[in-house]
A and B are shown apart, each in its own frame.
Chain A
Amino acid sequence: MLGLLWLIPVIPLIGFILLAIIGPRLSRTAVAIIGVGSVGISAILAILVAISFISSPPAGNAFTQTLWTWINVTNFNPGISFYLDSLSMIMVLVVTFVGFVIHLYSAEHMLHQEGYSRFFAYMNLFVGSMLILVLANNLLLLYLGWEGVGLCSYLLIGFWYTNPANGRAARKAFIVTRVGDAAMAIGLFLLFNNLATLNIQDVMQRAAQTWQIGSPLAVTAAALLLGGAVGKSAQLPLQTWLPDAMAGPSPVSALIHAATMVTAGVYLIARTHVLFSLAPSVQLAVAIVGAATLLLAGFSALTQWDIKRVLAYSTISQIGYMFLALGVGAWSAAIFHFMTHAFFKALLFLAAGVVIDAMNDEHNMFKMGGLRTQLPLTFWTFLIGSSALSALPLITSGFYSKDLILFDAYASPSGSTWLWLAGLVGAFLTSIYTFRMVFLTFFGKPKTKAVYQPGSRINLALIVLAAFALLIGFLETPSFLGNINVLGNFLSASLPATSILPQRAGSEGILELVSAVISLVGIYLAYLLFLRVPKTTEAMVQSPVGAVLHRYWFSGWGFDWLYDTVLVRPFVWMANSNKNDFIDLLYKGIIRLNEALHRVLSNTENGLVRWYATGIAIGAVIIIAIVVFL
C-alpha cells in the first residue's frame, strides 16, 4: 500500500490540470466533483497509506519513493522523491483530511460565486503543492512546494481580483513572505555549499557529524531557515501579511491561512530539528519569537471588530505557541498543537464564513448578535471551536495540546518560567478574545436577521471538524489524566522526545490546574466585559490610556505603519525617483542623437533634383578644396 504514496500529491494536481483546462466549460456540479473528489481520493489514499504504515512499519520507520531524478549535475542530483515518516504522515493526514472537509464546505459555500472552477483549480493546486512540501525528501523539492503554496496563497487572497484592495492584500502577502523565502533560499545554498547535499536526512546526518554545537555555520543556516519559517508562518517580524490575507474567501482562510500553509514554517523547523539543536541560540530565538508573537497577536486580537481578523490574529498567536514549543525542544508538542489547531481553527473559519454569509457579507461583529437561535448548528460548532481555541479544560483538544506546550515551556531544559508566563498570559488573552467573539456574535440581542441557512454539505463539514476538535486531543493526555501518549510515541521515530528536567516534572498537575483556571477566568472576564457591562468596556476604551492602547493593538502594534515608513515609502520613493533610470540616460542620449541625425538626413531626401545637384556641387567644391589646399 505504501507504493500508492505518489498518488497522494499527484491526484490533486491532476484535478488542478483538469479544472484549469476544461473547468470553465464544465457545469458547477462537475467542477465540484472533480475539485472535491480529487482531494477526497487523496485523503482516502492517505488513510490507506497510514494504515499500512502503522500496521507494518517499513525499515527504519521511514519510506522513500523516488519517482525520477529531477536534476542531475555531477554531485547535485535532487530527485522527485517522497519521504514518508511519522512526521510527514501526520502532516499528510491533516492536509488531505482537513483539505477534503474544507473542499466539501467550499462546494456549497462558493456555489454562487463567479470563478467556481478557478477557485477549485487553485485549491487543488494548493493541496498538491502542500503535499509536495510535506512529502519532499530533499530541500529543493520542499522549496518547490513551499513556493507553490505561496503562489496559491497569492492567487486565492486575490480571488476577488476586481476589488483593488484584495489585489493589494495578495501582493502584500506575496512580498512579505518573499522576504522570508529569500532567506530560506540562501540557507539552502549555504547548506548545499557546506554539506554537498540537499537530501533532508543526509543534511541532518552530515550536519550533526561536521558541525559542533553552536558553530557559526550551523547558527547561520538555522537562522536563515528560521527566516523562511517566520515569513511563511506569519511570525514576528513578518506577521503583517496574515490579517490582510483575510481578503480571500473564508474556505481559503480556513485551509491556507489557518490549517496548513501557515504551519509550513513549523513543519520546516520540526523537519530540520537537528540543525536547530546544533544552534541553541537560534532555537532560543525561535522560542522568543513564538512567545513575543503570541502575546502581540493576542493583544491585537482583543481589539479587532472584523470577525475574520480576530481569527487571523489568533492564528498568528497559536502558531506562536507552536514556535514556542519548537524553541524549547518540544517537537511533538508543536506538531500536536498543529494538529488540534488545524481542526479547530479551520472549524472556526468555516463557521465564521457561514456567519458572514448569513449576515449578508457583514464582517463587523458589533453589528451581529443573538445568532445563537438563528444559526443553532453553526453556533454550537463555533462554540466547540472557540472552547478548543481557548483551551477549555478536559473536554477540548486545545486544552491538551496547549497545556502540553506550556508545561514543556516550563519544564524542558531550554524552557524557563518567563516563557511559561508568556504562554500563560497568551492563554488568558486567547480565552478573552475568543469568547468576546462568541458573545458579540451569538449572544445578546439580535441586531440583524440571518438571511441564509447553511446546507447539508456545510453542516457536515462543520460537524466533522467539531468532532475532531473535541476528540483529537485525547491522542496525548497528561500523566495524571490517563497518560495517553499515542502521538508522542508515533512521532518518536522522527522527532526526539522532549526532555523534561526532573526537578520540574512533578509540577505538571499544578501547571495544568493554573492554566485551566486562567482559561476559565478569561472566559468569565469576556462574559463580564462584553455581555454584562459593555458600557464599562466602552469607557475603558475611551479613556486616554485605553484609547492609545486600543489604537496600537487595533493596528497590530503599528507594524504596518513602521514598515510602511521605514521600508515601503523610501523604496517607492527611490523607485519613483529612479523611474527614468539614470544609467539609461546615456543610451537614451545615443538614441536621441541617432534620431536627430536621422531626421537631418531624411530631410535631405526631399525629392528635389536641384537640391541633389546642389549637394553634388558642394561636395565637388569641398573635394577640390581638399585636393588643392592640402
Chain B
Amino acid sequence: MATIPVEYGLFLAIILFSLGLVGVLIRRNVVFILLSVEIMLNAAGLGFVIAGSHWGQADGQIMFIFILTMASAEVSVGLALAIQLYHRLKTLDTNSISKMRG
C-alpha cells in the first residue's frame, strides 16, 4: 500500500474545505451555495477518513458515513427550499430573502 504522510491528506482536506467556504461566501445563487456546502462537508469527511486511516481504525469511516447521511438529508431539504424560493420569488438570489433581519 501507499505511504502517504498524514499532513498531505489533511492539507488536501483543508484546501477543499476553504474552497467550499469561498464558494459559500461569494455565490448568491442558492444552488451554488448548496453545492459549496457539499464540498465543505465532503472535505470534513475526508479529514475523518484520513485520521481513521492514520490510526488504522474504522471509526473515521463510520463518521464519514454519518456525514454522508447528514449531507443527503441537508441537500434534500435545501433543494426543496430552493424550489420553494424560486416558486415564490422567481429568483434564486439569497439576498432576496433578507426579511428576517433583526
Which chain A residues have a beta carbon within 8 Å of chain B's beta carbons? 602, 605-610, 613-614, 617
Is A607 in contact with B100, judged by CB distance below 8 angstroms?
A: yes
Q: Is the interface of A mostly helix, strand, loop or mixed?
A: helix
- How far apart are B79's CB and chain A's nearest CB, in angstroms? 16
Is B25 in contact with A606, judged by CB distance below 8 angstroms?
A: no
**B residues in contact with A614, CB < 8 Å:** 25
B4-30 at interface with A (beta carbon < 8 Å): 21, 24-25, 27-28
Q: Is the CB of B69 closer than 8 A to any CB of chain A?
A: no
| Known contacts A610-B28, A613-B25, then 9 further A-B pairs from the complex at CB < 8 Å, ordered by chain A residue | A602-B102, A607-B100, A608-B94, A608-B95, A608-B98, A609-B97, A610-B27, A610-B94, A617-B21
Query: Given A602-B102, A605-B102 in contact, is the A610-B97 Cβ separation under 8 Å?
Result: no
B60-102 interface code vs A (CB 8 A; 1 in, 0 out): 0000000000000000000000000000000000110111111
Which of B24, B28, B101 is A606 in contact with, Cβ under 8 Å? B101
Is B97 in contact with A607, judged by CB distance below 8 angstroms?
A: yes
Cα–Cα, bound, A614→B95 (Å): 14
**A residues in contact with B25, CB < 8 Å:** 610, 613-614, 617
**B residues in contact with A605, CB < 8 Å:** 101-102
**A residues in contact with B33, CB < 8 Å:** 609-610
Is B95 in contact with A613, judged by CB distance below 8 angstroms?
A: no
- How far apart are A608's CB and chain B's nearest CB, in angstroms? 5
- How far apart are B25's CB and chain A's nearest CB, in angstroms? 6
Cα–Cα, bound, A608→B27 (Å): 12
**B residues in contact with A610, CB < 8 Å:** 24-25, 27-28, 33, 94-95
Which of A607, A613, A617 is B101 in contact with, Cβ under 8 Å? A607
Cα–Cα, bound, A605→B102 (Å): 5
- How far apart are A612's CB and chain B's nearest CB, in angstroms? 10
Q: Is the interface of B mostly helix, strand, loop or mixed?
A: loop
Cα–Cα, bound, A605→B21 (Å): 21
- Smallest CB gap from B98: residue in A: A607
- How far apart are A622's CB and chain B's nearest CB, in angstroms? 14
**A residues in contact with B94, CB < 8 Å:** 608-610
Query: Which 5 pairs across A and B sit closest by C-beta, in order of nearness?
Result: A607-B98, A605-B102, A607-B101, A609-B94, A605-B101
**B residues in contact with A608, CB < 8 Å:** 94-95, 98
**A residues in contact with B100, CB < 8 Å:** 607
Cα–Cα, bound, A609→B26 (Å): 11
Cα–Cα, bound, A488→B95 (Å): 99
- How far apart are A231's CB and chain B's nearest CB, in angstroms? 60
Cα–Cα, bound, A308→B95 (Å): 79
Cα–Cα, bound, A608→B97 (Å): 7
- How far apart are B74's CB and chain A's nearest CB, in angstroms? 14
Is B99 in contact with A607, judged by CB distance below 8 angstroms?
A: yes
- How far apart are A348's CB and chain B's nearest CB, in angstroms? 75
Cα–Cα, bound, A625→B25 (Å): 20
**A residues in contact with B24, CB < 8 Å:** 610, 613
Name 9 A/B residue pairs within 8 A (Cβ), A-sorted: A602-B102, A605-B101, A605-B102, A606-B101, A607-B100, A607-B101, A608-B95, A610-B25, A617-B25
- Smallest CB gap from B36: residue in A: A613
- How far apart are A619's CB and chain B's nearest CB, in angstroms? 13
Cα–Cα, bound, A607→B97 (Å): 7
- How far apart are B11's CB and chain A's nearest CB, in angstroms? 15
- How far apart are A628's CB and chain B's nearest CB, in angstroms? 13
- How far apart are B47's CB and chain A's nearest CB, in angstroms? 14
- Smallest CB gap from A620: residue in B: B21
- How far apart are B27's CB and chain A's nearest CB, in angstroms? 8
**A residues in contact with B28, CB < 8 Å:** 610
- How far apart are A64's CB and chain B's nearest CB, in angstroms? 71
Cα–Cα, bound, A602→B25 (Å): 21
**A residues in contact with B95, CB < 8 Å:** 608, 610
Cα–Cα, bound, A421→B97 (Å): 97
- Smallest CB gap from B24: residue in A: A613
- How far apart are A63's CB and chain B's nearest CB, in angstroms? 75
Cα–Cα, bound, A617→B28 (Å): 17
- How far apart are B92's CB and chain A's nearest CB, in angstroms? 12
- How far apart are B98's CB and chain A's nearest CB, in angstroms? 3
Cα–Cα, bound, A614→B94 (Å): 14
- Smallest CB gap from A614: residue in B: B25
- How far apart are B38's CB and chain A's nearest CB, in angstroms? 15
**A residues in contact with B99, CB < 8 Å:** 607
- How far apart are A625's CB and chain B's nearest CB, in angstroms? 14
- Smallest CB gap from B95: residue in A: A608
Cα–Cα, bound, A602→B95 (Å): 17
Cα–Cα, bound, A183→B9 (Å): 91
- How far apart are A600's CB and chain B's nearest CB, in angstroms? 13
- Smallest CB gap from A606: residue in B: B101
- How far apart are A580's CB and chain B's nearest CB, in angstroms? 32
Cα–Cα, bound, A162→B95 (Å): 60
**A residues in contact with B27, CB < 8 Å:** 610
- How far apart are A610's CB and chain B's nearest CB, in angstroms? 6
- Smallest CB gap from A605: residue in B: B102
Cα–Cα, bound, A617→B94 (Å): 18
- How far apart are A286's CB and chain B's nearest CB, in angstroms? 73
- How far apart are A615's CB and chain B's nearest CB, in angstroms? 11
**A residues in contact with B98, CB < 8 Å:** 606-608
Cα–Cα, bound, A32→B98 (Å): 71
- Smallest CB gap from B21: residue in A: A617
Cα–Cα, bound, A614→B23 (Å): 11
- How far apart are A620's CB and chain B's nearest CB, in angstroms? 9
- Smallest CB gap from B26: residue in A: A610
